[in-house]
Amino acid sequence: MRMNKVVVIGLFAGAALGLAASPAAARTLRVHVDSFKNGGIIPNKYAFCVPAAQGHTGPGDDISPSISWSRGPRGTQSYAIILYDADSPAEHREMMNKEGMTMTAAVKRHDFYHWVLVDIPPDVRSLKEGADSNARVVHGKPATPAAAGVRGLNDYTKVTANNDAMKGQYYGYDGPCPPWNDGVVHHYHFTVYALSVKTLDLPKDFDGPAALAAMKGKILAQGRELGLYTQNPAKGAKVPK
């Protein structure tokens, strides 16, 4: 069931916002996630859910990967990290993880935020593996101080709201968990922004869209690395025996 390089889950809206928040003259940051090549499969250890022989899926290690980026241009006072899945089903969600059904590419998609971290000091240009998540935590990780920066809510907060076994406030990083019956391989965008302000002055319970909205007019540079993930054996997921 280990897929050498993967990240899982997808659900809500943000890619478009990310682009809208970026000024036309913004420079490019070089972003690198150590555990996979750009456009490669994200390893299972970074996923919230992983393929399983029984029940199709099971809990993943949910470790945040190591990530680094190049220095921002003059005037950079902070950095922000936003990770989103661009392929989360936006409709027919009743079909997710259902036997005898496959979610095809015809299903409408939207962005799902997996990692929201802002106000990272300007002298920090990397985070070690496990810095923002070292385990999958049922009901979500608290808004405790991050290794660097301020954690926002990811979209597991929204999608678990009606599940008593899982609901809670999910701060910081929680990895991929796309439906095991999805015929689309999910795309995860690890995006780093160099900002002209020390803090975005966001309230405690801010999320991805709120962070992106607060960045408008403050982005000096940005860059991203792309990772792929699937739990569907028909799309290449390795299921343990």
Say if residue 3's pLDDT is above 90: no
Burial code of 98-136, b = ≥16 C-beta within 10 A, e = fewer? eeeeebeeebebbbbbbbbbbbbeeeebebebbbbbeeb
Domain borders along the chain are 4-235
Count the neighbouring beta carbons within 10 Å of the beta carbon of residue 226: 18
Say if residue 2's pLDDT is above 80: no
In tens, the pLDDT along 32-56 reads: 999 899 999 999 999 999 999 999 9
In tens, the pLDDT along 19-37 reads: 444 454 579 999 999 989 9
In tens, the pLDDT along 49-85 reads: 999 999 999 999 999 999 999 999 999 999 999 999 9
- Report the CATH superfamily, name and number, of domain 4-235: PEBP-like (3.90.280.10)
Q: What integer pLDDT is reported at residue 4 of this predicted model?
A: 40
Q: What integer pLDDT is reported at residue 93 of this predicted model?
A: 87
Q: What integer pLDDT is reported at residue 122 of this predicted model?
A: 98
CA distance 230 to 1: 11
- Residue 212 corresponds to which amino acid? L
In tens, the pLDDT along 174-224 reads: 999 999 999 999 999 999 999 999 999 999 899 999 999 999 999 999 999
Phi, psi of 130 (to 5 degrees): 80, 0
15: left (phi over 0), alpha (psi -120 to 50) or beta: alpha
- Per DSSP, the chain holds a count of helices (H) and strands (E) of 3, 13
The CA-atom distances, in angstroms, between 214 and each of 76, 172, 209 are 16, 17, 9
- Residue matched to tokens 């926002």: 152
Q: Report residue 53 as tokens.
A: 């022989």
Q: What integer pLDDT is reported at residue 240 of this predicted model?
A: 85
